[in-house]
Structure 1
């Protein structure tokens, strides 16, 4: 499999995908048509046009929603980009439109490269359980694509020492997740990404990540770190995915 899993699509002060431009271009080398999946946002046309504009010098972009059956858009394509937005809405749409199984099969077989950002990166994990999003819709299951055997928390935020906010930090929320589930969680800071190629995985970007595991202290991962060991994870959730 070839995966590019971005924490975010827009960095502060930069254009859409600009912070990861070189990585995106490298990932799409040899690809002439990219299928964009816009279902995490309500405005499918506007979202697709935004991606077209950002990638106009890199690849032809086709919106999955521009076909009567979005699965038809995947035919002959060599790459797919699942965009960010609300993860619950995205997962519900992937299920109702028949894209969840179609994407899983084609990406796992190596026929399709998978690029995700934020909610799209959440979809590459086994479950939706480590998303930051509000459940604005209710999918029948939290089971996602399972392209990697570990969880990712995009937009990971470090605790601010001077903050007076009394709610849980992101790390505390993920510790709650680990009270019920045993699967590594990679907290990707904004500007970071995970690149997977076959049995190899690397942490990209400039901001690094935090790895959180059940029963172990959180540990810092620097940009360029080898993430290959995470591909050997054996996720255990509190109940079987349905």
Structure 2
């Protein structure tokens, strides 16, 4: 049974890293002595080692040991044997490129579908949908494919921002960009606001957190989905 925690962000304004998700993470990885961290997204261009150390510091609070995927001589085997997997935020283009270049995308997908607990934040959440095409990230590198894990049936737009009606900025809103995506692509898109996450258990996908999310569907009106809702009821 699939078991995922898919969060918009790792850090809320004024909070510490993963602090707001701590109770959920404790449940997600209950019984895990170790987890495997995928550091490929490299926020701010930091090294794999620096990123992994940051994750180790957090999970030490839960008495869970963290190993970076880059540390293994046989990373495919490491994914297959992982007790739990965490893919952090950063640049989705870089993350997807690395997963493909290392032939790991399919292995991570298979592990998730086999029930390995998974936590994704930001870029690590983007890759849970069918494609990465609704990311906000700059295309700093050209991935072999936009196709991603496809372990949920819709795309995500983490860090979703509502239009500021008082702003004098005349650029595109997130809603405008998602509507542009739907000119050429049919899959639904969930705009996931900061502090929101999806709790995936088997075929159930429940929106959690204090805020609602926005559901965009091709040729349909946008829907505001309240926290606690079963997402599959809206996307069928």
TM class by shorter chain equals over 0.9
The aligned residue for residue 165 of structure 1 is: 169
In the TM superposition, 1:1-242 aligns within 5 A as: 1-41=2-42, 42=45, 43-58=47-62, 59-110=64-115, 112-229=116-233, 233=236
Contact in 2 for aligned 1:69/1:97 (Cα 8 Å) = no
User: Residue 75 of structure 1: CA displacement?
Assistant: 4.2
Conserved? CA contact 1:132–1:153, under 8 Å:
yes
- 3-state SS, counterpart of residue 57 of structure 1: helix
How many residues were matched structurally? 231
Distance 1:55 1:125 in 2: 26
Please give the secondary structure, in 1, of the residue aligned with 2:152. Answer: coil
Distance in 2 (alpha carbons) for counterparts of 1:44 and 1:90: 12
Q: Deviations over 1:96-140 (max 9, x none)?
A: 112101111111122x12211100101111101100011100011
Aligned 8 A contact 2:80 2:111 in 1: no
The answer on whether the counterparts of 1:62 and 1:73 sit within 8 Å (CA) in structure 2 is no
Q: TM-score, normalised by structure 1?
A: 0.92
8 Å CA contact 1:204, 1:223 repeated in 2 = yes
1:208 and 1:34 map into 2 onto residues whose CA distance is 30
Stretches of structure 2 lacking an aligned partner (at least 5 in a row): none
Gaps of 5+ in 1: 234-242
Q: Retained in 2: the 8 A contact 1:38–1:44?
A: yes
CA RMSD in angstroms, aligned pairs only: 1.3
Aligned partners of 2:95, 2:76: CA distance in 1, in Å? 15
Whole-Å separation in 2 of the counterparts to 1:141 and 1:36: 22
Structure 1's consecutive aligned runs of 4 or more residues displaced over 4 angstroms after TM superposition are none
Give the drift of 1:74: 2.2
CA contact (8 A) 1:35 1:79 kept: yes
Measure, in 2, the Cα distance between the counterparts of 1:178 and 1:135: 20
What per-residue deviation string (whole Å, max 9, x for no partner) do you get for residues 32-88 of structure 1?
A: 111000000041111111111111122211110111232232243221001110000
- Structure-1 separation of matches of 2:99 and 2:58: 24
Is the 8 Å Cα contact of residues 94 and 141 (structure 2) preserved in structure 1?
Answer: yes
Counterpart CA distance in 1 for 2:55 and 2:229 is 29
Q: TM-score scaled by structure 2?
A: 0.94
Q: Does the 8 Å CA contact 2:188/2:215 hold for their aligned counterparts? A: yes
